[in-house]
Amino acid sequence: MELLSSLADGFAVALTWQNIGLALLGCFLGTIMGALPGLGPSNGVAILIPLAFTLGLGATPSLILLTSVYYGAMYGGRISSILLNIPGDEPAMMTCLDGYPMAQQGRAGEALALSGVASFVGAFFATWGLVFLAPQLVKVALLFGPAEYFALFALAFATLGGISSTNQAKSAFAAALGLGLAMIGVDTQTGVPRFTFGEVHLYDGIDFLVAIVGLFALSEVFIFLEHRGTDRDISDKPRMKIGKIIPSWKLIRYCTPTMLRTTGLGFLAGVLPGAGASLGSFISYSMEKRLVDRKGTFGKGDPRGVAAPEAGNNAAAGGALVPMLALGVPGSGTTAVLLAVLLALNITPGPLLFSQNPDVVWGLIAALFIGNIMLLAMNIPMVGLFTRVLMVPPRILMPIVAMVSFVGIYGISGSSFDLLVMVGFGVMGWVLRKLDVPLVPVILGTLLGNEMEVNFRRAVNISNGDYWTLVGSPLAITLWAIAIAGFVLPILVGGVIRKRMRMPKDNEGAVTD
Amino acid sequence: MSDRIFGGIGLILALFYGWQAAIIQESFLTDTVGPKMFPFIIAAMMGLSSVYFLLKPDPEPHWPRAGRLAEIGLAALVLAAYAELLPVAGFLISTAIAAAYLTWRLGSGLIESLIIGVGTSVGIYVIFRLVLGLSLARGPFGF
């Protein structure tokens, strides 16, 4: 009951005109960003953080805006999957399999409407999951000391590559790079400058927002420059006829068991470290195919094949917020970016967030419920509008993305130096993506590096220089064991899953969740 | 081969990082761990993974041809120049130039690029400066 009253307080926070307006704006922008191939949830949120920050929005309003974008992008990804057979973002990959055939049969409107409903079901129940699970996790997290936190951070890095990661050494390299970048600047504990090469601009360290926007948004511009005029250029794909967009009750009832099952599965995949929305939609689709596909219609335009991955990935998006809010340790790219929002606003994420800033947490959760209903309302009648957005060619879109990124970063610091660093990160992001090095660990490293070091040093200091304290409690040992398993498992079984997920996929692993 | 080169660069970077960590000036007030230990661990992790790339490289990624590579390099230079130009020429002018260049390279026609460039710049100015009141770079003309 205490939970429900907290939730009611949250609604009181969220139901102001400003917050409702921001949620609406976020849902709208998010859906567009999800729908446009080349802009996914993580780079969409990344571009908007500096803006939210410079506009002087408070903590709760900024979070409401940005998580609405996150949820919106999860909805939007399906639009281009269904109409163009190109996933708007990575989690929408599986929706191509049945969505595009349905569109080819002239049932595009039905597929869009059904996937909208499935997205709603997934996200709605996952938000309830968040309400109940996150406070439980907080209770566990309150037992953590510095050594356990250090192990938890290590776990986050070890599992971030995920079960489908291609090369764990590259994830490790990316994590080291990110952590290394975080060390730049004045050491918080002893006040000595590190890796600054005497450059005054570096004394404050590298602003992680600069790194995020450069790595995610600018590198995307370079990828588009590289692929101009090739088959990945979508500007000249044929347009689909949409057809009617009101789903029939019969169809929804037919798909309901599928939606409910995959919601549960997707939520679990979201909560677990290293899984995330892409894997959530993948296992949802595969499980449904095993369970209900008796006539072999999956892959040929079966409506259940559209509902399953959509419910799965939206549920996973909600699930991924659980560790981010309760532990301060994100399990996916976009939640890592959302963590950056909290840090930029000087809010310490983690278990104390629930007791120190309950208005932020519960306001956010309430806003998610509101946003969800808005998204459902937006995505069924207004889906035609969003399909028109898909007609904006990348040659116009990408310069706008680049320029808005500059505006945001310049707004924060007003220094050309930061902009140059951002361009540098853009180029680095492009090279790393070509080499198949994941970018998310780099981001997470720059975000968590200092916090991780602080816990490491605190733990060892408390035990007077005894490094064994890092594995000194059963809880820490458990966390280390999970971390090691999460790092080693993909090497053993990753190949199989990767092969199956590879089917419809873009090579650069561009737009992760 | 790319991965081997990458591993080589990574290894040099790790060694450089380790060396830079070793020469950190410690203050007299320090904790038992000190500011060097964690960077050493990072350097070791980076070095180990780089050695792995050297020994077991992935298949060659698909690199663009030299022309396209130059294209990307040039775009990066234009963006860097844009960053330097912003405080000098003001937001509207520099953004129009940079956006026009990018859209031209992404396949718009020449005249069309100029229009898109100016349109992007004015559009962003109107939304972010006039509507939202964000501070953008001011040039000699005040915009």
The DSSP string of A16-72 is: SHHHHHHHHHHHHHHHHHHHSTT--HHHHHHHHHHHHHHTT--HHHHHHHHHHHHHH
Q: What are B54's two structure tokens?
A: 């050297």
Put simply, whether A403 touches B (Cβ < 8 Å) is yes
For A411, list phi and psi in degrees, rounded to 5.
-60, -35
Residues A264 and A315 sit within 8 Å (Cβ to Cβ)? yes
Rounded-to-integer distance, Cα B54 and Cα B10, Å: 10
Measured CA to CA in angstroms, residue A444 lies from A195, A324, A355, A452, A455 at distances of 19, 12, 25, 11, 16
Whether B79 and A411 lie within 8 Å, measured CB to CB:
no
Give CA angle at A374 (A372, A380), nearest 5°: 100
Residues in chain A, pLDDT under 70: 1, 161-166, 229-245, 274-276, 494-513
Rounded-to-integer distance, Cα A424 and Cα A418, Å: 10
Put simply, whether B50 touches A (Cβ < 8 Å) is yes
Rounded-to-integer distance, Cα A304 and Cα A298, Å: 8
Residue A511 region, left (φ>0) first, then alpha (ψ -120 to 50), else beta?
beta
Question: Using a CB-CB distance cutoff of 8 angstroms, which residues of chain A are in contact with residue B66?
Answer: none
DSSP 3-state of A186 = strand
Rounded-to-integer distance, Cα A96 and Cα A406, Å: 33
Question: Using a CB-CB distance cutoff of 8 angstroms, which residues of chain B are in contact with residue A412?
Answer: none
DSSP 3-state of B35 = coil
User: Mutation test of the interface with chain A: which of B25, B53, B72, B110, choosing the one with the most A Cβ atoms within 10 A?
Assistant: B72
Q: Which of residues 407-446 of A touch B (CB under 8 A)?
A: 407, 410-411, 414, 416, 419-420, 422-423, 426-427, 430, 434-436
**Amino acid type, A97:** L
CA proximity to A452, closest of A152, A211, A138, A141:
A152
Nearest beta carbon to residue B76 from set A169, A426, A456? A426
- Give the per-residue pLDDT at A511: 45
Residues A109 and A365 sit within 8 Å (Cβ to Cβ)? no
CB atoms within 10 A of CB B70: 11
Measured CA to CA in angstroms, residue A217 lies from A169, A211, A414 at distances of 25, 10, 19
Question: Which residue of A lies nearest to B120 if distances are taken between CA atoms?
Answer: A400
Give CA angle at B83 (B78, B88), nearest 5°: 110
| ipTM higher than the 0.90 cut | yes
Band (pLDDT 50/70/90 cuts) for residue B17 is very high
Put simply, whether B75 touches A (Cβ < 8 Å) is yes
Rounded-to-integer distance, Cα A454 and Cα A456, Å: 5
Q: What are B48's two structure tokens?
A: 């180990």
Q: What are A322's two structure tokens?
A: 């659980």
Q: For the segment A241-291, what is each residue's pLDDT rounded down to a tens digit?
A: 666 667 778 888 888 888 889 999 889 888 877 666 777 888 888 888 888
Residues A357 and A59 sit within 8 Å (Cβ to Cβ)? yes
Question: Using a CB-CB distance cutoff of 8 angstroms, which residues of chain B are in contact with residue A506?
Answer: none
Question: Which residue of A lies nearest to B129 if distances are taken between CA atoms?
Answer: A407
- Give the per-residue pLDDT at A163: 60
In what helix (H) or strand (E) does residue A121 lie, and over which residues does it extend? helix A108-141
Residues A281 and A505 sit within 8 Å (Cβ to Cβ)? no
Band (pLDDT 50/70/90 cuts) for residue B142 is low
Q: What are B81's two structure tokens?
A: 């120049």
Whether B35 and A166 lie within 8 Å, measured CB to CB:
no
Give A337-396 as a 3 state SS string: HHHHHHHHCCCCCCCHHHHHCHHHHHHHHHHHHHHHHHHHHHHCCCHHHHHHHCCCCHHH
Rounded-to-integer distance, Cα B123 and Cα B137, Å: 15
Q: For the segment A194-234, what is each residue's pLDDT rounded down to a tens digit?
A: 888 888 888 888 888 889 889 888 888 898 888 876 644 45
Measured CA to CA in angstroms, residue A388 lies from A80, A393, A395 at distances of 11, 11, 16
Q: Which of residues 447-476 of A touch B (CB under 8 A)?
A: 452-453, 456-457, 460-461, 464-465
Measured CA to CA in angstroms, residue A304 lies from A245, A250, A266, A284, A419 at distances of 17, 13, 15, 11, 47
CA–CA min distance A154, chain B (Å) = 12
Long-range Cβ contact pairs of B24-27 (< 8 A, separation 24 or more): B24/A192, B24/A194, B25/A192, B25/A193, B26/A190, B26/A192, B27/A190, B27/A191, B27/A192
Band (pLDDT 50/70/90 cuts) for residue B95 is very high
Could you identify the residue written with the tokens 């991780």?
A: A452
Q: Which residues contact A39 (CB under 8 A, 6 or more apart)?
A: A33, A89, A220, A397, A401, A511
Question: Which residue of A lies nearest to B79 if distances are taken between CA atoms?
Answer: A423
Could you identify the residue written with the tokens 């101009």?
A: A228
**Amino acid type, A94:** M
Rounded-to-integer distance, Cα A215 and Cα A209, Å: 10
Question: Using a CB-CB distance cutoff of 8 angstroms, which residues of chain B are in contact with residue A167?
Answer: 58
- Give the per-residue pLDDT at A347: 83
Q: Which of residues 93-132 of B touch A (CB under 8 A)?
A: 95, 98-99, 102-103, 105-108, 116-117, 120-121, 123-124, 128, 132
Whether B31 and A190 lie within 8 Å, measured CB to CB:
yes
Residues B41 and B90 sit within 8 Å (Cβ to Cβ)? no
Residues A433 and A508 sit within 8 Å (Cβ to Cβ)? yes
Domain spans in chain A, listed from the N-terminal domain onward: 2-501
CA–CA min distance B136, chain A (Å) = 7
